[in-house]
Amino acid sequence: MALERTFSIIKPDATARNLTGKVIAKLEDAGLRVVAQKRVKWSKADAEKFYAVHSARPFYNDLVAFMTSGPIVLQVLEGENAIAKNREVMGATDPAKADSGTIRKEFAENIERNSVHGSDSAENAAAEIALCFRLEEIVG
Ligand code: ATP
Ligand code: MG
């Protein structure tokens, strides 16, 4: 077990339905601590940069349009095995395949409008945190 930090986004479908607090409660109930948080609206350039790894995927343009369609909440989460724990509480990418009790099972609308993002590796967590937060904005 190791104390880790991961990067999380509450996506526009969730902010639009006023689910920010409910998503955060799920994260906190799973033992994750919000150590940085800000509500922003991404430009097209912001979303394209963040999702550059998916630029060859057929859903990339739609994903960028979705992620710029409304406010999002950027977070740094801290906890024991935070990266895996967050992926667990998020549930599968497609809410139809997500386990009961997960954020995506309870709140996601579909495979694209799936309410949350979470880093999938330690390397990506560090890169995503560095892209979106200054060190002094993270208070553990
Ligand atoms: P995230 O990276 O947001 O935490 P993930 O790791 O479960 O989710 P990825 O494969 O990295 O899923 O895809 C990134 C995002 O792109 C998904 O969360 C979803 O919003 C969107 N997406 C993924 N697959 C599809 C698809 N087949 N059709 C439409 N959108 C998709
Ligand atoms: Mg991913």
Per-residue pLDDT tens digits for 41-83 = 999 999 999 999 999 999 999 999 999 999 999 999 999 999 9
Q: Tell me the CA–centroid distance for residue 117 and ligand 2, in Å.
A: 7
Give the per-residue pLDDT at 109: 98
Per-residue pLDDT tens digits for 21-33 = 999 999 999 999 9
Residue closest by Cα to atom 3 of ligand 1: 117
According to DSSP, residue 100 is labeled T
Contacts 24+ apart (CB under 8 A), 137-140: 137/36, 137/38, 138/5, 138/35, 138/36, 138/76, 139/35, 139/36, 140/5, 140/33, 140/35, 140/78
Which residues are CB-contacts of 139 (< 8 A; sequence separation ≥ 6)? 35, 36
What ligand has the least distance to the C-alpha of 12? 1
Q: Tell me the CA–centroid distance for residue 11 and ligand 2, in Å.
A: 13
Question: How many other β-carbons are positioned within 10 Å of the β-carbon of residue 71?
Answer: 15
Q: Tell me the CA–centroid distance for residue 130 and ligand 1, in Å.
A: 21
Mean pLDDT value across the chain: 97
Give the per-residue pLDDT at 22: 98
- Residues classed as catalytic: 117
